[in-house]
Structure 1
Amino acid sequence: MTVPPRRASLQTSFRVISARGRSRPVLAIVLALAVIVPLALIGSIILMTPLPSFLLGGRSAEDCAQAGTIATGASETARTDIPAEYLELYTKVGKQTGVQWNVLAAIGKRETDHGRSKLPGVSSGTNYAGAAGPMQFLISTWGGQAKIKVASGINGYASDGDGDGYGDVYNPADAILGAAKMLKRNGAPDDLRRAIFVYNRATWYVDQVLEIAERYAVTGDIGLPPEADPACDTNYVAAASDEVVQKILEYALDQRGKPYRWGGTGPDAFDCSGIIYMAYRNAGLSIPRTTFEQWPFGVRVQQGSERPGDLVFFNAGPGTSVDRPGHVGLVVAPGKMVEARCTRCGPIKVTTYGDRPNIVGFTRPLENDQVQAQLRHDLT
């Protein structure tokens, strides 16, 4: 995506705060909590009332269910700054796709001030880089022309958000839906930094979009899926009927929140195959260490037949191909996997894989002859 020059409206609506500027409020909050939290604990003991889940180091099922991928409300800043038509569209598309509405809104703000910019390419034509519409798609990325009939097999992000059968890059309903699809294809709602970076390849752009998104949410938070929160109990382990699979999932899920590190096998950081290797070791099983070795090791499984404990492989990373996948995740539930993705992709977490590109296939290491022999030995 292309970035229009900064406009006065953007500067007056959103003040960029430096890290140094944030330090004093953050320090004050930390010091305040140091006093408040112990008092809250004492008060709770005296009153014999349950403590809030965040003080207990976890989140209740109700809290996690309410978190979701969609911010529950727009802040006063959002309601004041976003035109009503656009706010309705951002919210609708967010619910439809699972991409945070406030992230979509932040991109719309940063790109064209929600379609209000008078710069070339917003309401007609293209800008100097060939981008068009309120969400600033390259025409080639959209589908080859500004308005195109949406049909199966279309090569691009052209989307029909208003039900007229056409994807019009200048129509906000179509453009916002197309932006959501692009973000989701590249990691949203879990891996927002990567998804936004692919949208416009600049780290400063990612930072600005996320800051605007925080200001637009009534909670002041970006919003994450509950399964991406290591404090949320999503019952993946309990749902696995096999005790061996439970041990594998238990280890992998316990690593949520830890960073990615190439070649890492813990305990502080892991790479994609390292966390799987160690999860199987936790169940007393030995499998190959690297993705390249893990791919031919397990028995192939058809997509749709995978189950917890299986591996899902992707044609991603340097030196990889459809016959040599370079990325792997551990299936924890239908459509869900634990993955350590990359240094810039955020911490280890549960993500979705059903709509991810470049899936090479699925394997079941538990049905490998060597693993079967290990399981039989454990039973004797």
Structure 2
Amino acid sequence: MVRCAAVATGAVTGSTPQTDPCDSQVDGPPVAGIPATYLALYRKAAADYGIPWEILAAVGSIESDHGRSHAPGIHSGENHAGAGGPMQFLAGTWKTYGVDGNHDGRTNRYDPADAIPAAANYLRHNGAPPKMRAALFAYNHSNTYVDDVLNRAHKYKTTPTATTPPNASPPAECTEAAAITAPNTTIAKIIAFAMAQRGKPYVFGATGPDAWDCSSLVQAAYAAAGLTIPRTTFAQWPFGVRILNNQAQPGDLVFFNSGPATSTTTPGHVGLVIGHGQMIAARCSTCHPAIGVETYHRPDWIGTTRPLLRL
């Protein structure tokens, strides 16, 4: 049986294409130094909560380099102060202000789709934008921190395109076929197929072409390159050659302890690595987007396999 993500099976939100952060950067040009996926989340949270996107981006830059830092507590666990996630929330603060930004039924402080709107929610609760300094001080009790955020936000706002012209190619994690990150043409074909399915709905047990679940999507992506892998997540997990998580590369499969009747030895969710810490995955029927690009650096990430070593 295929089990993908912790969601009720069968329900589908509809076939209307859903926005993926890599398809557009939410009504604005690219900004140098900010990954497109994060920039889209900053702008969406700004629209939803009334907090300037450049403030959120400045906080994200200082706290985690927009999720790219490998410091303790960014992708799992906590730092010495007890903070975790790309926006560095304390567990108690997260419990009160955490947001399910991607509507996957969970509030996960390590998921930027949740953490960024949660930061906007917390800042607004503390008086932003009219009392921005006070709100930022409540976020981190340091006047130097407040000044750093405001100065960085000003730079983002006044030089929106910086060294990246508006018509430049998108970052590698958002390239349609992800060919520039694929080590060979076979992997490029696999990733290109999966990326082309964005906007389609998630349906538990679906095998395409109009809808997919997590394991059918990656099976079909491999088939697009003339390769055969098992159908279900449970069968895909032992099929590929196990590799270290820190050696994941485009074309690999990443597995998660997510979903009913799953465990650290029987993962229930799978995604396809496209590079730069990102995967393409069919996530759940209530997720927005149902099939989209997201980080695989999650607390429930339990392993990585390389099916190509079996083929």
**Same fold? TM cut 0.5:** yes
Aligned to 1:193: 103
Task: Confirm whether residue 70 of structure 1 aligns to residue 5 of structure 2.
Answer: no
Instruction: Give the residue type in structure 2 aligned to 1:93.
Output: V
Residues 311-330 of structure 1: matches in 2 within 5 Å? 311-330=253-272
TM-score, with structure 1 as normaliser: 0.46
Give, in angstroms, the shift of residue 366 of structure 1. Answer: 0.4
Aligned to 2:185: 243
C-alpha distance after superposition, 1:21-57 (max 9, x if no partner): xxxxxxxxxxxxxxxxxxxxxxxxxxxxxxxxxxxxx
How many Å separate the matches in 1 of 2:279 and 2:57? Answer: 27
What do you get for the CA RMSD once the two structures are aligned? 4.7
Residues 336-347 of structure 1: matches in 2 within 5 Å? 336-346=278-288, 347=290
Does the residue aligned with 1:256 lie in a helix, a strand or coil?
coil
Contact preservation (8 Å) 1:318, 1:326: yes
Contact preservation (8 Å) 1:157, 1:179: no
Aligned to 1:256: 198
Q: 1:150 to 1:264 in 2, by over 3 A?
A: closer
Aligned to 1:348: 291
Give, in angstroms, the shift of residue 317 of structure 1. Answer: 0.5
Contact preservation (8 Å) 2:176, 2:196: no
Segments of 5+ residues of structure 1 without an aligned counterpart are 1-57, 100-148, 170-174, 200-208, 218-225, 372-380
Contact preservation (8 Å) 1:329, 1:339: yes
Give, in angstroms, the shift of residue 287 of structure 1. Answer: 0.6
TM-score, with structure 2 as normaliser: 0.55
Aligned to 2:227: 285
How many Å separate the matches in 2 of 1:260 and 1:311? Answer: 18
Contact preservation (8 Å) 2:177, 2:195: no
How many Å separate the matches in 2 of 1:284 and 1:160? Answer: 41
Does the residue aligned with 1:362 lie in a helix, a strand or coil?
strand
Equivalent of residue 93 in structure 1, options 54, 59, 67: 59
How many Å separate the matches in 2 of 1:254 and 1:348? Answer: 10
How many Å separate the matches in 1 of 2:87 and 2:203? Answer: 40
Which structure's relative contact order is higher, taking Cα pairs within 8 Å and 6+ residues apart? 2
Q: 1:251 to 1:93 in 2, by over 3 A?
A: same
Higher CA-based Rg: 1
Give, in angstroms, the shift of residue 237 of structure 1. Answer: 2.0
Contact preservation (8 Å) 2:177, 2:192: no
Aligned to 1:45: none
> What is the identity percentage for the equivalent residue pairs of Structure 1 and Structure 2?
38
Contact preservation (8 Å) 1:308, 1:333: yes
Q: 1:63 to 1:293 in 2, by over 3 A?
A: same
Give, in angstroms, the shift of residue 312 of structure 1. Answer: 0.2
Task: Confirm whether residue 151 of structure 1 aligns to residue 80 of structure 2.
Answer: yes
Give, in angstroms, the shift of residue 159 of structure 1. Answer: 12
Equivalent of residue 269 in structure 1, options 211, 226, 238: 211
How many Å separate the matches in 2 of 1:179 and 1:235? Answer: 38
How many Å separate the matches in 2 of 1:319 and 1:72? Answer: 34
Q: 1:288 to 1:181 in 2, by over 3 A?
A: farther
C-alpha distance after superposition, 1:305-333 (max 9, x if no partner): 11111000001101111110000000010
Q: How many residues align?
A: 214
Structure number with higher helix proportion = 1
Give, in angstroms, the shift of residue 258 of structure 1. Answer: 1.1
Segments of 5+ residues of structure 2 without an aligned counterpart are 1-22, 68-77, 109-117, 123-127, 130-169
Residues 50-129 of structure 1: matches in 2 within 5 Å? 65-66=30-31, 68=39, 69-71=41-43, 78=50, 92-95=58-61, 96=63, 98=66
Q: 1:161 to 1:345 in 2, by over 3 A?
A: closer
Q: After TM superposition, which residue ranges in structure 1, 4 or more long, deviate above 6 angstroms?
A: 72-75, 156-162
Aligned to 2:299: 357
Instruction: Give the residue type in structure 1 aligned to 2:206.
Output: G
Task: Confirm whether residue 331 of structure 1 aligns to residue 279 of structure 2.
Answer: no
Give, in angstroms, the shift of residue 341 of structure 1. Answer: 1.0
Instruction: Give the residue type in structure 2 aligned to 1:294.
Output: Q
Give, in angstroms, the shift of residue 334 of structure 1. Answer: 3.4
C-alpha distance after superposition, 1:278-301 (max 9, x if no partner): 001101111100000000000001
Q: 1:193 to 1:280 in 2, by over 3 A?
A: same
Contact preservation (8 Å) 2:104, 2:284: no
Contact preservation (8 Å) 1:237, 1:250: yes
